[in-house]
Amino acid sequence: MSTKLSEISFQTDLVSEEKKNFFETYKRSSLIPTRGEGVYLFDDQGKPYLDLVAGLGVNALGHAHPGIIKAVTDQMNRFSHLSNAFINIPQVLLTEKILQATPGMTRVFFSNSGAESVEGALKLVRRWARKNGRSDIYAFSKGFHGRTLGALSLTYKDKYREGYDPFMPEVKHLQFDSIKDLSQINENTAAVVLEFVLGEGGIRPISCEFADELDRLHRKYKFLLVADEIQSGIGRTGQFFAYQWYTLKPDIVVSAKPIGGGLPLGVILGSEEINSLWHVGDHGTTFGGNPVACAAGQVVMNWLFEQNGLEHVKQTGKILSEALKHLQELFPKKIKSVRTFGLMAAIELFEDSSPYPAKALEEGMIINSTDSTVIRLLPPLIITEAQIQEMTEKFKRIF
Ligand SMILES: Cc1ncc(COP(=O)(O)O)c(C=O)c1O
């Protein structure tokens, strides 16, 4: 295959090479993007696509953000990688901002991805459980925590787990948002791992009643509460972390996706008690906390906290919510319900949602289908009112 972009025959060469050379783990979109700018991706013909998925919730500041390009280029000109045997200045500066935004958390460990952060959190939980004579770890139905074996022990859907057992024997699943199921928690509980808003599971936040009961049990039995904020964190819901909308306080927080502004970066946050579980050599990673990714992360944090980003998410989140409710009124036979939490949104259909991403592409829009009947939207956090209006017009044509 030729290597110059201008010489590639897009639909024949690239599609057939992909089919021939890759493990078939992904169902690829028919759109082959060649560049991005802000909230849009472009194909080789220059056609723009309104990107309402943002690389599955990663591109918080959209594509080719000038601030991120500058930070990344400046850092590349210094060095692109340092082992964690060295103090890494972008890591230290980013950590300062993350801890400022997360009262109660005092320590950070950087990884490369969501699943790697979950694995680290599970290691902390096991250490703590051994020390405190506890065993059970609870996760929830519809929960998604990643694809590595530890994370997959927590992930619920059979579709993702089939053929990979045995999983961690101490993990059990409870019904998501069921107060009744929480009664299984007791003095033997080591940890509860929770998405405060289900992402893959269709944008469903826990109810306040569920949060209050979990808070009561957390205080009573003193197990570790682990918040999986990999999709819902870093401003997506209008708070830095989604759990900050509730009163209960996690002991460990894991996050990833947008924190590196499009570069691979994950994070584990913990309190001083959690810090006492790890000493030199107990955990590590070669690439985690890469200085280029951390330099980009600082731009995301600046946008959220110094350029009023969180407020922007709250305001555009309301506009998105109104727009989706309006669509539901227009198409009551198609749309069963709409759910939003900041700039996480679900349009639940009466029918299979899987054909909709292809229909949206024809209209110049990128959307995602999840949980069989749900259209999921995770737009860049910089999306504007005008772009939400553009989305509404495109959905009207699609429905
Ligand atoms: C809530 C949640 N946890 C964990 C993960 C896994 O993250 P990664 O794909 O970076 O390993 C995801 C990914 O979608 C997620 O949404």
Q: Can you tell me the distance from the alpha carbon of 192 to that of 126, in angstroms, rounded to the nearest whole number?
A: 12
Question: Measured from the CA of 148, which atom of ligand 1 is nearest?
Answer: 11
- 3 pLDDT more than 80: no
- Give pLDDT tens digits for 376-399: 999 999 999 999 999 999 999 999
Q: How many CB atoms lie within 10 A of CB 3?
A: 6
Q: Do residues 310 and 376 lie in contact, with contact meaning Cβ atoms separated by under 8 Å?
A: no
- Give pLDDT tens digits for 15-41: 888 999 999 999 999 999 999 999 999
The distance between the two most distant Cα atoms of the chain, rounded to a whole number of Å, is 65
215: helix, coil or strand? helix
Q: Residue 115: CB within 6 Å of ligand 1?
A: yes
Q: Residue 256: CB within 6 Å of ligand 1?
A: yes
Q: Can you tell me the distance from the alpha carbon of 177 to that of 214, in angstroms, rounded to the nearest whole number?
A: 10
- Give pLDDT tens digits for 61-84: 999 999 999 999 999 999 999 999
Q: Residue 199: CB within 6 Å of ligand 1?
A: yes
Structure tokens at 210: 């569920």
What's the predicted TM-score (pTM) here? 0.97
Distances (CA, A) of 293 to 8, 101, 117, 248: 30, 19, 15, 31
Give the CATH H-level superfamily of domain 5-52+310-398.
Aspartate Aminotransferase, domain 1 (3.90.1150.10)
Q: Can you tell me the distance from the alpha carbon of 94 to that of 96, in angstroms, rounded to the nearest whole number?
A: 5
Of 192, 184, 238, 241, the closest CA to residue 215 belongs to 192
Q: How many CB atoms lie within 10 A of CB 179?
A: 13
Q: Residue 214: CB within 6 Å of ligand 1?
A: no
Q: Residue 251: CB within 6 Å of ligand 1?
A: no
Q: Residue 51: CB within 6 Å of ligand 1?
A: no
Distances (CA, A) of 216 to 198, 213, 250: 22, 5, 13
The band of 230, judged by pLDDT with boundaries at 50, 70 and 90, is: very high
Full strand arrangement of the beta sheet holding 365-366: 35-37, 40-42, 48-51, 365-366
Centre of ligand 1 from the C-alpha of residue 103, in Å: 23
Classified by CATH at the fold level, domain 66-306 comes out as Aspartate Aminotransferase; domain 2 (3.40.640)
Centre of ligand 1 from the C-alpha of residue 286, in Å: 20
Whole-angstrom Cα Rg for the chain: 21
Centre of ligand 1 from the C-alpha of residue 231, in Å: 7
For the chain, domain boundaries:
5-52+310-398, 66-306
Centre of ligand 1 from the C-alpha of residue 241, in Å: 15
